[in-house]
Structure 1
Amino acid sequence: MEKIYNGIWKLRWGQPEKISPLTLTKIHPSQEALDNLHCLGNPPISISDIEIKETTRGLKIELPLKEGEQIYGFGLQLHRLNHTGRKKVIRVNSDPIADTGDSHAPVPFYVSSAGYGVYVDTARYATFYCGTNLSKGASEHQKNKQKSVGTSEIELYGYQKAEGDRSMVVDIPATKGIDIYFFEGPDMKGVVQRYNLFSGGGTIPPAWGLGVWYRAYSAAQNEDVMRLAENFRNDSMPVDVFGFEPGWQTRAYSCSFLWDDNRFPNHEEMLENLFNMNYRVNLWEHVFVHPSSPMYEELIPYSGDYEVWEGLVPDFALKEAREIFAKHHLQYFIEKGVSGFKLDECDSSDFVHSNWSFPDIAQFPSGLDGEQMHNMLGVLYQSTLLEVFKKENKRTLSQVRASGALASSYPFVLYSDLYNHKVFIRGVVNSGFSGLLWSPEVRHAETAEDLIRRIETVVFSPHALLNCWRIPNPPWMQVDQDKNKRGEFFDDFERVRELCQSLFQTRMSLIPYLYASFANYKYTGVPPFRALVMDYPNDPNTYDIDDAYMMGDSMLVAPIVSGETERNVYLPEGRWWDFWTDTLYEGGQSYIFKPELGKIPVFIKDQSILPLAAPLENVKDDSIFDITVKVYGENPKDFFLFEDDGTSFNYEEGLYNWVRLSWNSDRKGGVERKGDYAGRRYQFSNWESK
């Protein structure tokens, strides 16, 4: 057991595989920030309590689980928050249809309520048994225990909660050695901070990336795009990013990575018009390269031995493949002003009719096999394109369908082709344990109410995105696909549009607060969106709350799904202010709330300072946010806004300010700037105290 950073320990057993997330991911641990975190300085698990054995399958690892420990993490788990007593397979898959561990972003990292974390550095389909099994003989004391025969399935199958001391058993196939990393706390938030800082810290998106995104109809042509773009501006509908779906390319499955001149005959002129209206542009693509692509011939020697959708699968573990792919994107897109990409379908699929991706037995020139590449493709894809933006000194916020371990520094937000709203909310809650960002994007709605409920969630999420790829007209006009295409709109579409506009404006008002939360993510490792149990680990009432979450340090968000007019919200210890009404509530108890449509339950922690901006229609490079500072409580903690140019990586060279907002005993507000950024992005027009 070797201490490698403050609070981080490494155990090597045998000879690990040369290929692993740590060897393939270019991380730069934030050592100074790690040194600033408090810890006891002892390994959270004693080496004498760890058992590792080589088996005919690979490796078996057994780690202790004490009675009462609750287990969280394992990446983007959409079907469960608390994994205690469950089996999780770390396998990437686009359709996680059950609580098996399959995920768009599985991560072999778990966090215990006992205040430690464990990361197993493997790209294999590792299986974690979270206290599900006892070793032979452990139940001998039960031999005289009487058991009645029941009539329900639970009684018949003898299901019982995991009681007493158990074990975390890890099964890793096809390997003869492993590196295991242990993260001290002292609490769960401290564990996650340490893991994120080990991964290089969180990401700071460009300021415009925190605005509202709209992805257009997949069959849209030049004139359709411009009609939408102009209408948004004419209606004062806040939209920052305009996304193009597959139809922009000459070939999409697999991809040509070339504009379709028939549908977009003057695409550069169209892009220039969008830029002049202050839109950023995001382009859909996936990794599979069609023979008609200019990259195809060059990539042949640097691709896997199986095609997908008649296209090559580049081996991004190789420098040559990354450079070819990056060069094309730079020349054809980024130099033309494109701000980011939607990296679709890099997550493979086993469970749908259009089964895609390469087999696990595939081989790649770098030495990766198909199993390893499945689990690593999303991360390698992100890093390949991020390198281009870094070299151009342009920040991006982009989308991706697959990610994995050690990815907290990547400015990519996960999304899914699934549609269940409750599942999407759970994704926001869970993603914070593993250095991931998740969008509960609005891509489907049954009714106008359903649309508003989904938008309510997405504006209080990492990525405020409406994916309207199935409909030519905005969803506030009509959510039914066939009627939307025929131009048959809601009778009250103006009311629906006003509700959407109001929610978008709420999102725009939160950008300075969110931007500061992401900067905190970068420099301290605290995820901007996280489960309540991470902030309140000693409160058993938070252990299983998977439908409410913290947004930054001060806001608690509790979304509502369509068909529900009320919901129960548990407010942890302390006092909480209703974001909409300023009503004060005592924590440590639950309440029933019946908010009107367009205003989900959102609460501000007492003794907080909340900066709210006058809503902009879009974030320009030179935008200045006009801030109203809201003060909650008599002695609030200082709040620190992050101030820089909002678009470049110059902050990595120290060109940024921390803007300290304070409230003194004379009930007066103070603003203090410290840093080397010469510009000003914030002005303060009003202070309001509660």
Structure 2
Amino acid sequence: MNRTSIAILALLAPIAIWAQGVKIEFFTPSVVHVVKYQGQAVNPESKVIIAKPQEVALTTKGNTTSSEELSVKLDQKTGCITFMDAKGKVLLREKKHSFSPLNQTFTLDKGEAIYGLGTIQNGKMNRRGEHKRMEQSNLEDFQSVIQSIKGWGIYWDNYAPTQFDDDQNGMSLTSEAGDYIDYYFMYGKSADGVIALMRHLSGDVPMFPLWTYGFWQSKERYKTAAETESIVDKHRELQVPLDGIIQDWQYWGSNYLWNAMDFLSEDFQNGAQLIKNVHQKHAHFMISIWASFGPQTQQFRELNEKGLLLPIETWPQSGISHIWPPVMEYPSGVKVYDAFSPVARDIYWKYLKKLYDYGTDAWWMDSTDPDFFNPKESDYEHKVTGGTWRSLRNAFPLETVRGIYEKQRALQSSNSERGKSSDKRVFIMTRSSFAGQQHYGSNMWSGDVNSSWDMLRKQVPAGLSFSLTGNPNFNTDIGGFFCGSYNTKGSGSAPKNPQFQELYVRWMQYGLFCPVFRSHGADAPREIWQFGKKGEPVYDAIEKQIRLRYRLIPYLYSTAWQVTSNNQSYIRPLFSDFAADKKVWDMTDEFMFGQSILAAPIVDPQYTEEKIIRTDAMTGWNKQEVNSEKGIVNSDWTEPKKATKYLPKGANWYDFWTGKLYKGGQNVVLTTSFDKVPMFVRAGSIVPLGPEMQYVGEKKWDNLEIRIYPGANGEFTLYEDEGDNYNYEKGVYSTIKFEWNDRTRTLTINNRQGQYPGMLLNRKFTIALPDGTSRTIDYNGNQIEVKL
């Protein structure tokens, strides 16, 4: 085809449409790949996109090429593109572009809301008017995915630090490195639709183990193996549910042995036995690993011999680990490895396998941004595998996480072929993420956030914005990481301070709805018994959230299956379902948890005065808090309070706790209590609740409570499998579909589909209505109808 003209005929793609310096390729009827270049044409290879272009029926008329979903009009004079829907309605227009600097500018509609980009910690959802330099860091991470309330999305396929701007000049992306413009335009028609297309391009979401949805306890840091194990013991003694215990850094010993990936500290003399003991107590073990190595480690020596270490200054800066602030006269010599190198990733896994062989269940990949202190221009120009540190900077977390996922999956596949046990799904918790990372078994947490109400409020939109990029797995340090300013009665006293107690409980009520439910932080311990004892309001409130989490696991695990099989998300902004209601376009304190539950956590103090704290990741570590002490009151935690919440238009809503029905499209004033998080269920929903358990698997799901919320037709698919292997990828799982007919008030429990080893053949379901009435029925896998 002549590059300066477009043929007027029906085409069958994959085929690229060329004009001078522009390549347009329909990946699907709803996805268009755009490349702009100078000189010789380019066919870029992506680190993110794993899909191949489909065969798409296209028609071309003049400068416009159309699929059944999307039309693309190219101005051959300017090289600017206009994207339109099938009816010719303009979705997005390019305004201009340049190659030095590498920039693409678009024109948005007045009042058009846009979302995404990543975990920007400014408390906003709508990115209009935003100016942000996007470079991975401790507190903020970027995926270069943005989407519009109009149902379109863009993935900017560039890995260099990139400036995002939206102002009177347009919406623009300007990258610090790159020879060509490379992006994907997606028309999903809705927020969920854009997410589905992004995952089509960059990979689906593998399932995490069932046990990961239980409660996790951690702190910075358990200093001995005995202390780590004792936390599990105390949970079992108090009968407070727990599924995961996390071992933070320095189990390897000194900073010169940083990230040696072995238990070399005198206080961790038998790591394999520690893990075995944790398993015997029906808990799972996650361990901290990093993207950097100390000079006395085997990894450092092997990587250094091959030139696979970066010269950047990283954490920890001093080799003296017991003195703070860092003693810079004794530099640590710790260096980040070149995660872009397949050779380096092989070396990384070779040594990590020792921890895997000890029985480690999950990886805590810290500082995958990675920490990058006092950056110099020469650092950015340092050669790494496939480019420069500048050109590949933002993709570092993707490459290091992908390396672990692929190595562990390959090992398990090999073991399975040899008849060895292969029962662990990869589970990675990481501090940083790039586009496509959802495909590699990772859950991102929001970094070393400070313990403040302001930061709690910011976690909600940060998590939702992250989810809108296609990455569904998000969590935060419950209570915030840096809580030192609440230590008013000495070191570690924050859990006895009412200001921190209230913040912690409310943060826990937000964390209840995150895919990973994890307590962690520095400056003071966070275990439940630090806050009091059973029978006391703060202790009881914490325990109540943990117990509710376990009851919600059947709903949550079934949602996990929908995330994997149907491109859904765990936490979803209200406009995902209610885009017609403009009042929810910038809602930052409410969201959908799965398809049915509206979470409305309390994110302002009701019992104490707000403590103002301003720290970042460095001032928190340096204990340079700036705060105003407004006094501590002895709160009556039993006193009812009031809170106003908005219920979206387009559905009616039941209060989860009282069963009261509200009409959507209004603010409601609720009577709230300290131990309950406001939450609502959409009319027409079916919500399964499980038994209270000390750990996942302690009790069978042989009599689930199935809550029916009348007012509209509804359905729910209960998903079950073996819980911790990849047999589900081979179809080894079961589903039971529940359908509610609101007119006839009939619940149909359909035939069970599929099977797996250990599956319940006969069980009971207790069907419950919001008015408190219930009925228990027997189910043997065959369809049954229940009139209510």
- TM normalised by structure 1 equals 0.84
Q: Which residue of 2 aligns with 1:283?
A: 287
SS at match of 1:23: coil
Change (3 A) 1:504 1:22: farther
Alignment of 1:190-229 (within 5 A): 190-216=193-219, 218-229=221-232
CA contact (8 A) 1:116 1:183 kept: yes
Q: In 1, Cα distance between the equivalents of 2:519 and 2:145?
A: 31
**C-alpha distance after superposition, 1:158-195 (max 9, x if no partner):** xxxxxxxxx32222233221221010122232112211
Q: In 1, Cα distance between the equivalents of 2:568 and 2:70?
A: 22
CA contact (8 A) 2:51 2:202 kept: yes
Counterpart of 2:686 in structure 1: which amino acid?
Answer: I
Q: In 2, Cα distance between the equivalents of 1:319 and 1:623?
A: 43
| C-alpha deviation, 1:71, in angstroms | 0.9
Give yes or no for the alignment of 1:60 onto 2:79: no
Instruction: Tell me the percent identity.
Output: 22
| C-alpha deviation, 1:297, in angstroms | 2.2
Structure 1 spans left out of the alignment, 5+ residues = 33-38, 96-102, 135-166, 479-489
**Which one of 338, 342, 347 corresponds to residue 364 of structure 2?**
342
| C-alpha deviation, 1:373, in angstroms | 4.0
| C-alpha deviation, 1:272, in angstroms | 1.1
Q: In 2, Cα distance between the equivalents of 1:546 and 1:30?
A: 37
Give yes or no for the alignment of 1:477 onto 2:522: no
**C-alpha distance after superposition, 1:353-377 (max 9, x if no partner):** x768997425244133222443111
Give yes or no for the alignment of 1:71 onto 2:99: no
CA contact (8 A) 1:343 1:399 kept: yes
Q: In 1, Cα distance between the equivalents of 2:226 and 2:180?
A: 58
SS at match of 2:429: strand
Give yes or no for the alignment of 1:501 onto 2:501: no
Q: Which residue of 1 aligns with 2:158?
A: 122
Counterpart of 2:759 in structure 1: which amino acid?
Answer: R
CA contact (8 A) 1:476 1:500 kept: no
CA contact (8 A) 1:621 1:645 kept: no
Q: Which residue of 1 aligns with 2:426?
A: 396
| C-alpha deviation, 1:571, in angstroms | 0.7
Q: Return 564-573 or 602-611, whichever deviates more.
A: 564-573
Change (3 A) 1:189 1:247: same
Counterpart of 2:751 in structure 1: which amino acid?
Answer: E
Change (3 A) 1:681 1:197: farther
Give yes or no for the alignment of 1:315 onto 2:338: yes
Q: In 2, Cα distance between the equivalents of 1:16 and 1:649?
A: 47
Give yes or no for the alignment of 1:239 onto 2:261: no
SS at match of 1:175: coil
CA contact (8 A) 2:225 2:268 kept: yes
Q: In 2, Cα distance between the equivalents of 1:678 and 1:44?
A: 51
Counterpart of 2:427 in structure 1: which amino acid?
Answer: L
Give yes or no for the alignment of 1:4 onto 2:27: yes
Give yes or no for the alignment of 1:295 onto 2:299: yes
Counterpart of 1:399 in structure 2: which amino acid?
Answer: M
Change (3 A) 1:689 1:624: closer
Root mean square deviation of aligned Cα: 2.9
Give yes or no for the alignment of 1:660 onto 2:737: yes
**C-alpha distance after superposition, 1:555-608 (max 9, x if no partner):** 110111352344321111210011111111100111122311121110100001
**Which one of 577, 583, 586 corresponds to residue 535 of structure 1?**
577
| C-alpha deviation, 1:668, in angstroms | 4.2
SS at match of 2:557: helix
Alignment of 1:639-658 (within 5 A): 639-658=716-735
**C-alpha distance after superposition, 1:135-172 (max 9, x if no partner):** xxxxxxxxxxxxxxxxxxxxxxxxxxxxxxxx322222
Alignment of 1:9-20 (within 5 A): 9-14=32-37
Change (3 A) 1:613 1:278: same
| C-alpha deviation, 1:44, in angstroms | 7.1
CA contact (8 A) 1:655 1:675 kept: yes
Q: Return 498-507 or 652-661, whichever deviates more.
A: 652-661
**C-alpha distance after superposition, 1:601-656 (max 9, x if no partner):** 10100001001101221114995464110000055312012221111112122222
SS at match of 2:336: coil
Q: In 2, Cα distance between the equivalents of 1:40 and 1:513?
A: 36
Q: In 2, Cα distance between the equivalents of 1:473 and 1:119?
A: 39
Q: Which residue of 2 aligns with 1:84?
A: 128
Change (3 A) 1:7 1:418: same
SS at match of 1:448: helix
Counterpart of 2:163 in structure 1: which amino acid?
Answer: T
SS at match of 1:477: helix
Q: In 1, Cα distance between the equivalents of 2:172 and 2:593?
A: 33
Give yes or no for the alignment of 1:672 onto 2:729: no
Alignment of 1:587-666 (within 5 A): 587-620=664-697, 624=701, 626-633=703-710, 635-664=712-741, 665=744
Q: In 1, Cα distance between the equivalents of 2:549 and 2:282?
A: 18
Q: Which residue of 2 aligns with 1:164?
A: none
SS at match of 1:521: helix
CA contact (8 A) 1:219 1:247 kept: no
Alignment of 1:7-46 (within 5 A): 7-14=30-37, 23-25=46-48, 27=50, 40-43=68-71
Change (3 A) 1:470 1:650: farther
| C-alpha deviation, 1:384, in angstroms | 1.2
SS at match of 2:382: coil
CA contact (8 A) 1:378 1:402 kept: yes
CA contact (8 A) 1:116 1:182 kept: yes
Q: Which residue of 2 aligns with 1:258?
A: 262
| C-alpha deviation, 1:518, in angstroms | 1.8
| C-alpha deviation, 1:17, in angstroms | 13
CA contact (8 A) 2:555 2:718 kept: yes
**Which one of 446, 449, 452 corresponds to residue 418 of structure 1?**
449
**C-alpha distance after superposition, 1:379-438 (max 9, x if no partner):** 112111112332325213321111111222233222210122111222222222112322
Change (3 A) 1:576 1:424: same
Give yes or no for the alignment of 1:458 onto 2:511: yes
CA contact (8 A) 1:256 1:291 kept: no
Change (3 A) 1:578 1:384: same
SS at match of 1:247: coil
| C-alpha deviation, 1:347, in angstroms | 2.0
Q: In 2, Cα distance between the equivalents of 1:85 and 1:379?
A: 28
**Which one of 560, 563, 577 corresponds to residue 654 of structure 2?**
577
Give yes or no for the alignment of 1:170 onto 2:173: yes
Counterpart of 2:460 in structure 1: which amino acid?
Answer: I
Q: In 2, Cα distance between the equivalents of 1:646 and 1:519?
A: 11
Q: In 1, Cα distance between the equivalents of 2:364 and 2:385?
A: 25
Q: How many residues align?
A: 627
Q: In 1, Cα distance between the equivalents of 2:535 and 2:310?
A: 52
Runs of 4 or more consecutive aligned structure 1 residues displaced over 6 Å after TM superposition: 15-22, 29-32, 356-359
Q: Return 364-373 or 545-554, whichever deviates more.
A: 364-373
| C-alpha deviation, 1:219, in angstroms | 4.4
CA contact (8 A) 1:255 1:285 kept: yes
Change (3 A) 1:228 1:266: same
Give yes or no for the alignment of 1:383 onto 2:425: no
Q: Which residue of 1 aligns with 2:415?
A: none
Q: Return 435-444 or 568-577, whichever deviates more.
A: 435-444
Change (3 A) 1:447 1:185: same
Change (3 A) 1:56 1:4: closer
| C-alpha deviation, 1:671, in angstroms | 4.3
SS at match of 1:2: strand
SS at match of 1:597: coil
| C-alpha deviation, 1:508, in angstroms | 0.7
CA contact (8 A) 1:72 1:433 kept: yes
Q: In 1, Cα distance between the equivalents of 2:178 and 2:224?
A: 51
Give yes or no for the alignment of 1:689 onto 2:769: yes
